[in-house]
Amino acid sequence: MKISLLFPPSWHPSQPYLSLPSLTGFLNQAGVNNVVQRDLNMEALDTMLTAGYGQDIYVRLVDRVKHLERVQAGETGPNSKEHYTRIVESLDRFPYLIDRIELAKETLRSEEFYDIERYRDSLFLIDKWLELVSTIYFPTRMTVVDNQFSSYSIYSSKDLVRAISDEEQNPYLELFRSQFLTSILADAPDLIGVSITATSQIIPGLTLCRLIKQANPSIHLTIGGSIFTRLVDNLRRCPSLFDLTDDFIVFEGETALLELVNQLSGKRDMSKVPNLIYRQNGKITVNQPFYSENINELPAPNYDGFPLGRYLAPCTVLPVQFSRGCYYKDCAFCALTLDHQNFRQKDPGRTVDDLQMLSMKYQTPYFFFTDECFALSPTKRLCQQLIDRQLNLQWTCEMRFEKNLSRDLLTQMRDAGCLKIVFGLESFNQRIMDFMKKGIKQDSVRRITEDCLDLGIAIHCYIIVGFPTELEEEALETMNFIVDNERLHSSYGFSCQPCLFDLEKEAPIMSDPGGYGIRRIMRPASEDMSLGFFYEVQSGMTPEQAERLYQHVYEKISEVVCELPFNYSMADGLLYIARAKAQAQQVPQPAGS
């Protein structure tokens, strides 16, 4: 059986995503070797950032402006006066941008990546180029990391069905047809898996599925990824989505995909495939109980076939995993723990074996741990192994501001190659911390922050504005912890991402909304695939007040935080920190870094 695994746009172009390499490694370990995996996100972006693609766009822009000179309807939207104006502006900018677009891309793949002005200019130029391309499909707007389909809601199955067929507003129809569909089908796959892990991938991913099914209905197509894991109940009520795919694999996909391969090669009894949602005889079935992997039996991810030399960075940064799930999982706002139903820790020795193999095979010392949260004791053992083996790897991970996160452990992490730690601070106000069930104290936050700064470990902080019952002064206390702490925000590599509170489906707060001061929960009837809810509160800031304050907090933090590269990309930031550290120590860098 031939298998193709596809990762659709849009995702960050600095590094690969972990899902497909994890599945490929598992299938290979089980003896399933006829597997092709493609990062269509990077392939598509690489294609669009070329002069050849630009020449085709130019012809279409000229044709469209001639059409709109004759036919215009309305002030805004497709084929409107605003659309005409945008295309005229794009034609004016076109000569300047097309002469520079390939240079911008190559700059980010070269040593000039580390010249911050060249880095910023290249990203800015790429964004302007994608804006130009998008004007054909106005009001749709493509960016490097997102797609803004303003005419459609990604949370409505009816809107999605319309969006994936909209030739005027969906740029991926023509892009996939002209550039990728032929090569995907040329592999003659029996099974195609499409990984949709972010909201930015929903419309491009489903568009790809529709085109594949139209071209060859006999190919078995399955969709996986965390987005649909959070929509299990919704999928039961969205039969139209099963016209685009044969089934969905939710939660963890390794064993499920392997068993799907086995069933397609044999009796085709889909009831035997764990974590599968499928339609049979008009009935949508969810196979339960959901299966969780034995993490110590999972092999290292396999990145073979991924375009590692085409990512927009001068050196490869590979995502890896040390654990699945969250050992704490009590934070009231967090729905991430749903993706992995329980916490499991991989043996530190096996993890270091994987890191050593991956580093040698793909010629990189740089790793990005995707774990939701590093547990303390296993981290100590992991770091000791890294130190003992003298692998000289450099990496980043996520942790909690635990009172037991000691300076000694942080020192050991630094010595083992940890360059940056991502913390979910959320709030620096103790009442809100406690109300969120964060399980952390202000004193711990202050001490760990100072320890990291003393040791030269960069810090990232996520913060949340507008948690139910939060007052303006409590949110400002969190903001001021960042803004007034010059030693923190001026430290090299520091980054901070403020987020507006979102009442997410499956978050613990949903089990007792009244207990968290939520008076009423609403969802538009049309949004049958919503990942969150509108709500009203009994006290504290209203959602509208919280949104206004969030804008203020975002602006104030942006004044003191280095947006590029550290707030833009963890992977880019990791490379910048590694370069700065090497220069400070006068250590030779690996080739291409």
Q: What is the pLDDT of residue 172?
A: 98
The dihedrals phi and psi of 269, each to the nearest 5 degrees, come to -95, 95
Q: Averaged over 493-510, what is the pLDDT? A: 95
State residue 116 phi and psi, 5-degree precision. -60, -35
pLDDT in tens, 204-231: 999 999 999 999 999 999 999 999 999 9
Instruction: Name the nearest CA neighbour of 578 among 568, 567, 589, 569.
Output: 589
* Overall average pLDDT of the 64-81 stretch: 92
In degrees, rounded to 5, the angle at the alpha carbon of residue 314 between the alpha carbons of residues 311 and 317 is 65
Beta bridge partners of 96: none
pLDDT at 506 over 90: no
User: By C-alpha distance, which of 386, 363, 360 is closest to 316?
Assistant: 363
What confidence tens digit (pLDDT) does each residue in 1-16 have? 999 999 999 999 999 9
Tell me what pLDDT residue 592 has: 56
For the cut 90, the answer to whether the pLDDT of residue 340 exceeds it is no
Q: What is the pLDDT of residues 155-194, one digit of tens each?
A: 999 999 999 999 999 999 999 999 999 999 999 999 999 9
Q: Tens digit of pLDDT for each residue in 370-405? A: 999 999 999 999 999 999 999 999 999 999 999 999
How confident is the model at residue 562, as a pLDDT? 87
pLDDT higher than threshold 90 for residue 454: yes
Starting at the edge strand found earlier in the chain, the sheet holding 366-369 runs: 317-320, 366-369, 394-399, 418-426, 458-465, 495-500
- Residue owning tokens 């005419």: 151
What is the average pLDDT score of the chain?
A: 96
pLDDT of residue 582 exceeding 70, the answer is: yes
Structure tokens at 21: 């390499």
Calpha distance 144→134 (Å, rounded): 12
The DSSP-derived string for 377-407 is: HHHHHHHHHHHHHT---EEEEEE---TT--H
CB distance 134 to 128 below 8 Å = no
**Stretch 232-242: mean pLDDT, rounded?**
94
Is the pLDDT at 341 greater than 90? The verdict is: no
551-558 long-range CB contacts below 8 Å, 24 or more apart?
A: 553/463, 553/465, 553/475, 553/476, 553/478, 553/479, 553/498, 554/498, 556/479, 556/483, 557/479, 557/482, 557/483, 557/496, 557/498
pLDDT at residue number 60:
96
H-helix segments, 363-484: 376-389, 407-415, 430-435, 442-455, 472-483
The confidence band for 335, taking pLDDT boundaries of 50, 70 and 90, is confident
Distance CA 289, CA 295 (A): 18
Residue 525 has pLDDT above 90, yes or no: no
Largest interatomic CA distance in the chain: 73
pLDDT at 439 over 90: yes
What pLDDT sits at residue 396?
98
Please give the pLDDT value at position 588.
Answer: 63
Chain segment 281-321, per-residue pLDDT in tens = 999 999 999 999 999 999 999 999 999 999 999 999 999 99
CA 102 vs CA 46, 88, 366, 374: distances in Å: 9, 23, 26, 39
Indicate the pairing of strand 366-369 with strand 35-39. unpaired
pLDDT of residue 586: 77
Question: Residues of the chain with pLDDT > 90: what percent?
Answer: 94
